[in-house]
Amino acid sequence: PRPVRLAEYRPSDFLIDAVHLDVSLDPEATRVTARLAIRPNPLGPENAALKLDGEDLNLVSAEIDGAPLRVDDLDVTPSSLTLPNPPRGPFELTLTTLVDPSANTRLMGLYRSNGAYCTQCEAEGFRRITYFLDRPDVLAVYTTRIEGPEAETPILLSNGNLVETGPAGDGRHFAVWHDPHPKPSYLFALVAGDLGVVEDAFVTMSGRRVALKVFVEHGKEDRAHHAMESIKASMRWDEETFGREYDLDVFMVVAVSYFNMGAMENKGLNVFNDKYVLASPETATDGDYANIEAIIAHEYFHNWTGNRITCRDWFQLCLKEGLTVFRDQEFTSDMRSRPVKRISDVRGLRSVQFAEDAGPLAHPVRPQIYHEINNFYTPTVYEKGAEVIRMLKTLIGPEAFRAGMDLYFDRHDGQACTIEQFIACFAEVSGHDMSQFLRWYDQAGTPEVDIRTAYDPDRKTFTIDATQKTPPTPGQQFKQAMVIPLALGLVDEDGSDIPLVVGGAHAGPVIALTAENTRIVFENVERRPVPSLFRNFSAPVKLRSDQTVEDLLFLARKDSDPFNRWQAVQTVALRGLVAGVAALREGREPTEEPRLAEAIGRAFDPAETDCAYAAQIAALPSEGDVAREIGEDVDPDAIHSARSYLKASLRQRLAEPLAAAFDRLAERGPYSPDAAAAGRRALKIAALDLLAAGGERSGVERAFDLYKTASNMTDRVMALQVLSLHATAEREEALEDFAQRYGTDPLLIDKWFLIQASAPLPDTLDRVQSLMASPLFDMKNPNRVRSLIGAFASGNPTQFNKADGRGYGFLADVVTELDATNPQVAARLLGAFRTWRSLEPQRRRLAESALQRLAALPRLSADVGDIVRRALA
Ligand code: DPP
Ligand code: ZN
């Protein structure tokens, strides 16, 4: 298949200014009549043929300006419809097609979810509804008439404002929606079904009243209130923080249970995976509440960053995604704890994006080539894309950043833009030259920054030598130097920052490293300070430094930057774990760093009042973190053992404070999902996890007791999760009980699947296979697939990477089966192979042969084929 290249972008030969869609719903034969107002693009060539995209469509008829076209006037292929000689001026093309929503298992285009009709068009799903110029730089005004049986589809929704409803005879009715804002086809949406609704309203900054509606399955209305509150909070925040007001009379969210992604920002009609809408104290954890708030915000923020200003082409995906992730991160930081949010985002970035960047699927934030765009909704485009925006703000400062955003909204409203146009706004308002900064978009790989320091007591100087290097990635052997914002402090004995003076002038606190080697000489330094580097994680880089364990333990106590206090403890732990792995592989016992227990023990001190932050201090680096730090010849079993060893030693050293904290943090009073209460629960569970380390009886008993007496879903699920790590009778009893209690609630069964699939126990794969055969599992539902198979493949390092290769073979089998119905979700599962090349030789061979088995299959989807080929390249 021919790849798509950024360098080959050309504007569309034709434009479509207006779309009138008439959709007559039927389970197997929905009739779509599209009236398209088309004209040649003045920027395009003369006499071009008109080639529309289409997929799985059944063409019934075609007319130009009311005159029927004969089939031989058209060239129809499985992926296109071409008019060889279209009119030279504006014309109206009317196409009638039939689509089969019930047969649509890909969940792209128009499909059915639990009986309701819904759509997913990003990136290229609209072409599965009608023939179209299905590309983001073709912006049209849509009017949509939906007709369906009143009994089955009392609710008929599309983008924009409702303009008309009425009976259509034969028990059918219709609704007409008009969206005045020109938009690309990927933002089109239609929903029809029998749904419950929760309603509210928001008065915007200019005093307009916007109706708010959250649609859910009947009977789940009481689980929609948190989503509704999150919508209002998001609307207010975007007005206050970015001056962005909502622009339609109604804003709607619909929760559906079959959905490929998390949620979708269709104009005025966001469609959500129900997992990210539904919450009640009885059914949702603190994590669910936080995710819902963040994802509602993310999709809402797209209304300006994505919808009002969209992407010129899919290479610019980060223009809307990186920026919108940045915006939702800022929102959460304002709603909850800024340091805790930063720490958890950095954990996520490292565990997924750094892993991607270090393996065969690495690509730039703005890729230059793709075979299947669905495979580029990645941690690199999203999370690293957000880091790039954060660095931009760090480098030019908050005022210039806000001014640049204002200019961007002002100048580009209603347009389909590129990264260059976006960055130019910030160059203009700040006077900075951004040409080197643009490399963050085009150069893949995680830069490694090595920092060496020297104190000269005679000259009273402290010198930092920083070297940067970005390793090769697929297609990019040689890398240029990046502009890397280094936020730093030089910390004095008492924990205060000494003034930064360079060349006689005040410097910092952010220094841009722009060359491969940078020397910075700080003056007037009376004593050797301890450098605190990359405060608040000021750049998405890997840091190597000559900081000693003493330096780090000092920073853990004294640094004014909360991120680096956390990072210091993590770095000490990580160094210990890497040494522990090496020891185990040489047949020695790991040695311990007793001061690590002291640093972690402080998290459980009764004087520590920020429990959410303390819980982050207490959480050790993950097995994946250790694997990445080791980098090659990785043995997942040794990593698991070293980490278990450390946890058991922390349990021994901290037995009393852990038990005391667990008791002190016991739930009192009614459940509230707010950040402070969630933080207390998180710290309590961190204590419990350590108390039960190694399957210690008293810890397991505590966990079992918490499971049984839990007054909220967070405690119950987290206690079950702790129990699930150890092969005990309590584990089995609790798992059994959970299924009994919640077997009718698919979202809770997902948690039950995930917990079992993630357990580092030798029979986990067998259990996953038997759960797949249970009636609770449904291969057609992406949430079920992700919580059982995705959790096993991507969240269980020892069992997926079983030394006998069974885990790899299992995943290859599942992907083969799923590829026939839902290639997008199948390709997503294969992400578990992103680190296969860093494994020790035996596992590497087995992983490679599983991938090769897939590569040899006669019929692979574009989605899976692309991942397999890149993984093996
Ligand atoms: N719905 C996905 C997101 O918001 C893709 N746009 O990130
Ligand atoms: Zn998004």
CA–CA gap between residue 672 and residue 689 (Å, rounded) = 22
Beta strand ranges found along 492-647 (DSSP E): 501-502, 505-506, 510-513, 517-522, 530-532, 542-545
Q: Report the SS3 class of residue 525.
A: coil
Q: Is the pLDDT of residue 1 over 80?
A: no
User: How confident is the model over 277-295, as a mean pLDDT?
Assistant: 98
Residue 582: CB atoms within 10 A of its CB come to: 14
Q: Which helix (H) or strand (E) holds 141?
A: strand 140-149
pLDDT of amino acid 73: 87
Q: Is the CB of 328 under 6 A from ligand 1?
A: no
How far does the centroid of ligand 2 lie from the alpha carbon of residue 320, in Å?
7
> In this structure, is residue 870 part of a structural domain?
yes
User: How confident is the model over 302-319, as a mean pLDDT?
Assistant: 99
- The enclosing domain of 751 has a CATH number of 1.25.50.10
Q: Is the CB of 321 under 6 A from ligand 1?
A: yes
- The enclosing domain of 511 has a CATH number of 2.60.40.1840
User: How confident is the model over 726-741, as a mean pLDDT?
Assistant: 98
> In this structure, is residue 62 part of a structural domain?
yes
- The enclosing domain of 115 has a CATH number of 2.60.40.1730
Comparing CA positions, the residue from 455, 447, 452, 454 lying closest to residue 465 is 452
pLDDT of amino acid 744: 97
Q: Which two tokens stand for residue 190?
A: 């239609």
Q: Is the pLDDT of residue 872 over 90?
A: yes
How far does the centroid of ligand 1 lie from the alpha carbon of residue 295, in Å?
9
DSSP letter (8 states) at residue 222: G
Same domain? 433 vs 460: no
- Asked whether 300 and 237 are in contact (CB, 8 A), the reply is no
Nearest CA to ligand 1 atom 3: 264
- Asked whether 680 and 665 are in contact (CB, 8 A), the reply is yes
CA–CA gap between residue 101 and residue 859 (Å, rounded) = 23
Question: How far is the CA of 544 from the CAs of 171, 240, 415, 557, 755, in angstroms?
Answer: 70, 39, 43, 21, 35
Same domain? 9 vs 152: yes
How does pLDDT run across 312-336, given as a tens digit for each residue? 999 999 999 999 999 999 999 999 9
Same domain? 488 vs 455: yes
Same domain? 757 vs 865: yes
Last residue of a domain, one of 539, 569, 589: 539
Which residue among 261, 267, 326, 328 has the greatest number of ligand 1 atoms within 8 angstroms of its CB, and so is best to mutate?
261
> In this structure, is residue 562 part of a structural domain?
no
Comparing CA positions, the residue from 712, 746, 672 lying closest to residue 217 is 746
pLDDT tier for residue 689 given thresholds of 50, 70 and 90: very high
How far does the centroid of ligand 1 lie from the alpha carbon of residue 264, in Å?
5
User: How confident is the model over 525-534, as a mean pLDDT?
Assistant: 98
How does pLDDT run across 378-387, given as a tens digit for each residue? 999 999 999 9
Q: Which two tokens stand for residue 71?
A: 């089939």
Residue 509: CB atoms within 10 A of its CB come to: 16
Domain count within the chain = 4
How does pLDDT run across 577-594, given as a tens digit for each residue? 999 999 999 999 999 899
pLDDT tier for residue 30 given thresholds of 50, 70 and 90: very high
pLDDT tier for residue 280 given thresholds of 50, 70 and 90: very high
Strands 448-456 and 461-469: antiparallel
Q: Is the pLDDT of residue 272 over 90?
A: yes
CA–CA gap between residue 140 and residue 494 (Å, rounded) = 62
Same domain? 408 vs 485: no
CA–CA gap between residue 178 and residue 161 (Å, rounded) = 5
User: How confident is the model over 468-488, as a mean pLDDT?
Assistant: 98
Range of the domain at 506: 448-539
* Nearest-ligand number for the alpha carbon of 186: 1
Q: Which two tokens stand for residue 96?
A: 């009638």
> In this structure, is residue 483 part of a structural domain?
yes
Last residue of a domain, one of 391, 417, 442: 442
> In this structure, is residue 839 part of a structural domain?
yes
Strands 91-99 and 30-40: antiparallel
Same domain? 404 vs 510: no
Between CA 808 and CA 818, with CA 812 as vertex, the angle to 5 degrees is 140
Same domain? 431 vs 532: no
Q: Is the CB of 122 under 6 A from ligand 1?
A: yes
Last residue of a domain, one of 392, 408, 442: 442
The mean pLDDT value of the chain amounts to 98
Partner residues linked to 20 by β-bridges: 35, 143
Nearest CA to ligand 1 atom 7: 321
Catalytic residue among 124, 147, 299, 623: 299
> In this structure, is residue 10 part of a structural domain?
yes
Report cis status (omega within 30 of 0) of the bond before 123. Answer: yes
Same domain? 427 vs 460: no
CA–CA gap between residue 824 and residue 864 (Å, rounded) = 8
> In this structure, is residue 821 part of a structural domain?
yes
> In this structure, is residue 710 part of a structural domain?
no
Same domain? 339 vs 480: no
Q: Is the pLDDT of residue 529 over 80?
A: yes
What pTM was estimated for this model as a whole?
0.99
Q: Give the ligand 1 atom nearest the CA of 263.
A: 1
Q: Give the ligand 1 atom nearest the CA of 264.
A: 1
Amino acid letter, 40: P
Residue 485: CB atoms within 10 A of its CB come to: 20
Comparing CA positions, the residue from 808, 812, 813, 822 lying closest to residue 863 is 822
How does pLDDT run across 61-104, given as a tens digit for each residue? 999 999 999 878 899 999 999 999 999 999 999 999 999 999 99
How far does the centroid of ligand 1 lie from the alpha carbon of residue 733, in Å?
39
Same domain? 477 vs 420: no
pLDDT of amino acid 90: 98
CA–CA gap between residue 592 and residue 251 (Å, rounded) = 56
Same domain? 148 vs 42: yes
pLDDT of amino acid 11: 98
How far does the centroid of ligand 2 lie from the alpha carbon of residue 304, in Å?
11
pLDDT tier for residue 185 given thresholds of 50, 70 and 90: very high
Q: Is the CB of 265 under 6 A from ligand 1?
A: yes
Q: Which two tokens stand for residue 220?
A: 């789940």
Task: Count Cβ atoms within 10 A of the Cβ of residue 589 and give its class: 0-12 exposed, 13-18 middle, 19 or more buried.
Answer: exposed
DSSP 433-485: --TTTTHHHH--S--EEEEEEEEETTTTEEEEEEEEE---BTTB-S-PPP-EE
How far does the centroid of ligand 2 lie from the alpha carbon of residue 400, in Å?
24
Percent of the chain with pLDDT over 70: 100
User: How confident is the model over 777-782, as a mean pLDDT?
Assistant: 98
- The enclosing domain of 353 has a CATH number of 1.10.390.10
Nearest CA to ligand 1 atom 6: 264
Q: Give the ligand 1 atom nearest the CA of 321.
A: 7
Comparing CA positions, the residue from 564, 560, 526 lying closest to residue 545 is 564
pLDDT of amino acid 72: 80
Same domain? 187 vs 318: no
Q: Is the CB of 263 under 6 A from ligand 1?
A: yes
The reply to whether 493 belongs to the active site is: no
